Amino acid sequence: MKNKAIVCRCEDITLEDVEKAIDEGYTDLEELRKKLRIGMGPCQGRVCIQIIMKILEKKTGKKVSRRDLPTSRPPIVPVSLGTLASDEK
């Protein structure tokens, strides 16, 4: 039976997807992010990255460095789409 536990809701990534990718050789947090788009949804990994790190550590037996955690870079001041789409200077 397939494990359909969702670990990343934004990108609909399951525990099975993560474990399969690790078994295929993706044993680095950044590699997993690029392969599965983990942390690239609306929450920017605030929900799933910690879960993925624990799965990765359990499967590989290696500690994931906290410095490898992705950082989000939101605008300093929110900008409306109207402002971005405007051709006014």
8-34 per-position pLDDT tens digit: 998 999 999 999 999 999 998 888 989
Cα–Cα dist 14/36, whole Å: 10
Structure tokens at 1: 């039976």
29-74 per-position pLDDT tens digit: 888 989 999 888 888 888 888 899 999 999 999 888 776 666 666 6
Look at residue 75 in the predicted model and tell me its pLDDT: 62
Domains and their CATH numbers in the chain: 6-85 (1.10.10.1100)
Give the pLDDT band (50/70/90) at residue 82: confident
